[in-house]
Structure 1
Amino acid sequence: MTRYNSIRVFLSILLITDVYGQKEQMKVDSKIVQKTDLNYLLFLPESYNNDQETKWPLILFLHGIGERGNDLELLKIHGIPKIVEKEKKFPFIAISPQCPADYDWRDEAMQETVLDLLEKTLNNYRVDKDRVYITGLSMGGYGTWALATKRPDLFAAAVPICGGGEPSTASLMKDLPIWVFHGARDEVVLPEESEKMVRALQKVKGKVRYTLYPNAYHDSWTETYANQELYDWLLSNKRTDHKKF
């Protein structure tokens, strides 16, 4: 059975209730004055209800620009939502918000909304708070860098794919394990966008590794998310393993 919840978030209203495996409305508070609607998909592992004591690692996934809007089915085209559609035993809780058409993950309003959403998920599901990971592709890769910069204390590791960030912020993330991916033939987001972040992190002795696919174009995410090594690496990192911020 698919363990998705389709949830709509409205700013400035308090959370009411949620029922496992059902479609509900979730409402969250935010400090933002501007109101922003946010849909998202929540995946719970097949065995989530088998043991009420087990706490699960969580992946926050940020999609690319082509999946913006209000159609949640678009999220299942790429990335983690595509994986969990087929892999019901995927050993993570996965939360995949959908950016509205007129926004970008780097917008302050969206960052705050996503962080509110993540906080509510951490408080309402059995999440191992020391194993919360963030990843995203293209626009979501940029968003991953932005949120890792904004709240490095929340995450155990980050995986930005074909994105980019601000090299001047590298010191804020130097203790956060980051695995960067890009396609060498990418003409949509040039590899230099990732590489300047990698160089900046290396300069401050950050915990960064970089995979450049020599024959990949913009889609460097399909191979990345299909690689079991990625998930093994994520699970090898805990928030308690790196310096407290």
Structure 2
Amino acid sequence: MKSDVFQKTITKVIDVNLSYLLKLPAGYEKGTGEVPLVLFLHGAGERGTDPKLVKKIGLPEVVDKGDFPFILLAPQCPISTAGRANWIMELDGVSALLKEVIETHRVDLKRIYLTGMSMGAYGAFELASRMPDLFAALAPICGGGCPEKADRLKEIPTWIFHGERDDVIPIRESLDMVNAIKTAGGNVMFTSYPEAGHDSWTAAYNDPEFFSWLLKQSK
């Protein structure tokens, strides 16, 4: 049986209001063991206060159609009055929300994974650089990051994806991170899709090998 929980939370740590989607794996309610958790950061088009928007695209869309053995946590980035909201501005709230979910659910602390697409990929790179000891794997899709912070990512197994015909975020943004992580001595893989534009997340998140790789990673 699928289990979906849509709710808003005001975090006790920094008093930030974030809408989010939390999806529990089949059998979670009757189980007793710890399970992995995947934190997903969406792109710019899903910002707002209705987490159902987050469910329409990317990893939540894929997970909603099947049974996956992990908790999916997908916060929603709000839209500021100036329209400039992005994940970098909201990472304190995301961190507090993640902490709250970890404390209230049976999360395997050795198997917490981070992924994001487009704007969410930038957020994922940044959050991983701030909390490198927490995440067992990182999977940014069609985004970019700060090569200067690659040294903080070198201990996190990373798989980066990008479409070669992306005219929104150039593939160079991902390649710069791949090269920087390699130079830092990190463990990074890169997959490019020759025919894909900005939407490289559909191919990545629908690839069974992606989930096989992800769930094998452990701290």
TM-score tier after normalising by the smaller chain length: over 0.9
Aligned to 2:53, what secondary structure does the other structure show? helix
**Structure 1 residue aligned with 2:61, among 82, 99, 106?**
82
Match for 2:36: what amino acid?
P
- Say which of 108, 117, 132 aligns to 1:128: 108
1:91 has 2:73 as partner: no
1-structure distance, mates of 2:78, 2:16: 8
Q: Which amino acid aligns with 2:217?
A: N
Alignment of 1:12-27 (within 5 A): none
2:88 matched to which residue of 1?
106
Q: Distance in 1 between matches of 2:19 and 2:180?
A: 34
Report whether the alignment pairs 1:29 with 2:7: no
Any stretches of 5+ residues in structure 1 without a counterpart?
11-27, 240-245
Corresponding residue of 2:124: 144
Counterpart residue number, 2:162: 182
TM-score under structure 1 length normalisation: 0.85
User: Structure 2, unaligned stretches of length 5 or more?
Assistant: none
Q: Provide the rounded CA distance (Å) in 1 between the counterparts of 2:31 and 2:55.
A: 28
| Paired residue type of 1:218 | H
The count of residues paired between Structure 1 and Structure 2 equals 215
* Residue 154 in structure 1 maps to residue 137 in structure 2: no
SS at 1:106 equivalent: helix
Task: Give the Å deviation of 1:51.
Answer: 2.1
The alignment status of 1:67 with 2:78, answered yes or no, reads: no
Deviations 1:162-193 (A, max 9, x none): 11111000101111101000000001010011
Find the partner of 2:216 among 219, 230, 236: 236
Residues in 1 aligned to 2:151 and 2:64: alpha-carbon distance in whole angstroms: 37
1:103-149 superposed Cα distances (whole Å, 9 cap, x missing partner): 21011xx1111011111111111110100000010000111101011
Give the structure 1 partner of residue 36 of structure 2: 57
RMSD: 1.1
Asked if the contact 1:30/1:112 (under 8 Å) is kept, the reply is no
Q: Who is 2:19 aligned against? A: 39
1:8 alignment partner AA: K
Cα displacement (A) at 1:79: 1.5
Report % sequence identity: 45
Query: AA paired with 1:134?
Result: L
Letter in 2 for 1:58: L
Instruction: Write the distance in 2 (CA, Å) between the matches of 1:85 and 1:171.
Output: 35
Distance 2:29 2:16 in 1: 32
Matched with 1:19 is: none
Letter in structure 2 aligned against 1:124: T
Aligned-pair distance for 1:84?
2.3
- Who wins on radius of gyration, i.e. which is larger? 1
Considering fraction of residues, name the structure with more strand: 2
Q: Aligned AA for 2:88?
A: R
